[in-house]
Structure 1
């Protein structure tokens, strides 16, 4: 187990849930906003972010493209459903990291060939992918004047129980 990797995935779960919670009151036209004409809408970015987490969980098991994201990407399920799914997939990723054998490899089939990856790679990819798309969502919302939550690590610390005040030493 890598405690640091578990902590990073706990942060990622918190950040996903915090951003979804902050967007619960958005109107349809705000969810359809795009940073540029060729980029995804906020709605599509949330669907992609959540659907991809399901794929990352499968990839740690040597599986993918089993329709895991169809219920979040085919039609808009709403933020409440996305929140439930990303909370669960976040828990799954944390559990996978907590039980990780540092040397464990995963054989992943793709287009008729099989490739080998360290299982930890898919967890790293989930973390990076989340940062990328949460940032894209926040930027899109900022462009239309919507304030978004600060997802900085300092704001995560209290939720994680870090940074509690301690008594001065005598």
Structure 2
């Protein structure tokens, strides 16, 4: 139903999955490395991406993933991979049905005031947030001398055959 958003959310999951694959080959010291200007360590940032995504999803649907818990200790990479798969499936199901992008949700703002926020803004934030923090992880990887994967939408389209090579 929300066809235009399906690729956006699938790219989001794919790109995070690409970084999780890189993280599988890192040492503990590398996983916990950070550099100034980034959110935090690689593993903490991966958890932040997924837990925030679960928070946005919960706001939109009222359905909280059973693994989502604010303030929880950072899970293992294997657990994060499971949570990533769960969120990808949840977004796919969410996007199968129509939704009112103008439906207003109350969000507690950092200034202490509540704000009326359209559902469409929360969807946009879910995508933007992941992109921003994946860039942080790539910055940490680069500082460690570790090559970063290409995470762009064109890369996703090629990797998932959403950009089919023409034969004629």
Range into which the TM-score falls when normalised by the shorter chain: 0.7 to 0.9
Q: Identify unmatched segments of 5+ residues in structure 2.
A: none
Q: Which residue, out of 108, 115, 122, partners 2:106?
A: 108
- The number of residue pairs the alignment matches comes to 165
Residue of 91, 94, 97 corresponding to 1:99? 97
Q: Structure 1, residues 29-67: CA drift from partner, whole Å, max 9, x if none? A: 101111128851112111111111110110102588x99
Alignment root-mean-square deviation, CA: 2.8
Cα displacement (A) at 1:14: 0.6
1:84 maps to what in 2? Answer: 82
Instruction: Map Cα deviations across residues 103-162 of structure 1 (whole Å, 9 max, x no partner).
Output: 551433648986443322222111000000000001111011111211122221133322
Q: Does 1:60 align with 2:60?
A: yes
Gaps of 5+ in 1: none
User: CA–CA distance in 2 between the matches of 1:5 and 1:68?
Assistant: 23
- Report which of the two structures shows the higher radius of gyration computed on alpha carbons: 1
Q: Secondary structure at the match of 1:107?
A: strand
Change (3 A) 1:105 1:148: same
TM-score calculated relative to the size of structure 1: 0.82
Question: Helix, strand or coil for the counterpart of 2:123?
Answer: helix
How do residues 109-148 of structure 1 correspond to structure 2 at under 5 angstroms? 110=108, 115-148=115-148
* Structure-2 separation of matches of 1:89 and 1:121: 18
The 3-state SS of whatever aligns with 1:60 is helix
| Partner residue in 2 for 1:19 | 19
2:29 aligned partner: 29
Q: After superposition, what is the alpha-carbon deviation per residue over 1:57-116, rounded to whole angstroms, capped at 9, x for unaligned?
A: 10102588x99334xx53232111001102211221232233233455143364898644
Structure 2 distance, partners of 1:39, 1:48, is 9
